[in-house]
A and B are shown apart, each in its own frame.
Chain A
Amino acid sequence: KNQVEQSPQSLIILEGKNCTLQCNYTVSPFSNLRWYKQDTGRGPVSLTIMTFSENTKSNGRYTATLDADTKQSSLHITASQLSDSASYICVVSDGGSYIPTFGRGTSLIVHP
């Protein structure tokens, strides 16, 4: 069964600090891995999408890494801002059916 596990479940940091969110998956065959940011009561917004051959991809203060051998990904947020407070969701798509499997998300709270 395809699974996506995220850690930590929740995280509280001070404004300006960096943080790293983790995603482990068992989806096979692998198609792509995406990180989304979801504000409360809103639809998810894409941050990065990575395919098998990509190791690192950045989008502003967000940097995602992918290790396809160990089936792990991380999302690093640099110089956090109050607006970064949201749920961050890791989504891995099956290369056969293309159906995405969602992680439970990491709830990030940035305090001033």
Chain B
Amino acid sequence: GAVVSQHPSWVICKSGTSVKIECRSLDFQATTMFWYRQFPKQSLMLMATSNEGSKATYEQGVEKDKFLINHASLTLSTLTVTSAHPEDSSFYICSASADGNTEAFFGQGTRLTVV
């Protein structure tokens, strides 16, 4: 299958700082990328859907000013957690799809810990 790389794999940051997570499709062009968060023993929760060159569509309850998503190219989307709080600590996962309807491939996830 296609390869989606997420970076970093884990990050620890102080409360109030911002953290950027990158999601790259390495061997295909991803028109659509999805961002998820996952709490322990829970299923993935969709945060937002981003299409290249457009503003991201956020799910209800997700603060767009706190979770900034940029999808400026067909191979890269970034999620920036601004003014991070301990409750933002979670596992963040991206997935990328060539056109939104074909299979989406997942990154390996980023473990964020806010102290």
Using CB atoms and an 8 Å cutoff, list the residues of chain A in contact with chain B. 31-32, 34, 36, 41-46, 49, 89, 93, 98-100, 102-105, 107
B79 CB-CB contact with A under 8 Å: no
Q: Are B46 and A43 in contact (CB under 8 A)?
A: no
Interface 9-residue window, one of B11-19, B69-77, B98-106:
B98-106
B42 to chain A: which residues have CB within 8 Å? Answer: 104
Q: How many A-B residue pairs have CB under 8 A?
A: 48
Using CB atoms and an 8 Å cutoff, list the residues of chain B in contact with chain A. 1, 4, 6, 32, 34, 41-46, 49, 91, 93, 95, 97, 100-101, 103-109, 111
Q: Are B106 and A41 in contact (CB under 8 A)?
A: no
Q: Are A46 and B103 in contact (CB under 8 A)?
A: yes
Bound together, the chains give a CA A44 to CA B105 distance in angstroms of 8
Q: Are A99 and B49 in contact (CB under 8 A)?
A: yes
B101 to chain A: which residues have CB within 8 Å? Answer: 31-32, 93, 98
Bound together, the chains give a CA A68 to CA B28 distance in angstroms of 30
Contact of B43 among A32, A34, A105 (CB under 8 A): A105
Closest 3 CB pairs between A and B? A43-B106, A98-B100, A104-B43
Q: Are A42 and B108 in contact (CB under 8 A)?
A: yes
Q: Are B100 and A44 in contact (CB under 8 A)?
A: no
Q: Are B43 and A44 in contact (CB under 8 A)?
A: no
Bound together, the chains give a CA A5 to CA B45 distance in angstroms of 14
Bound together, the chains give a CA A102 to CA B36 distance in angstroms of 11
Contact of A46 among B1, B32, B34, B109 (CB under 8 A): B1
Q: Are A100 and B43 in contact (CB under 8 A)?
A: no
CB proximity of A95 to chain B, nearest CB, Å: 8
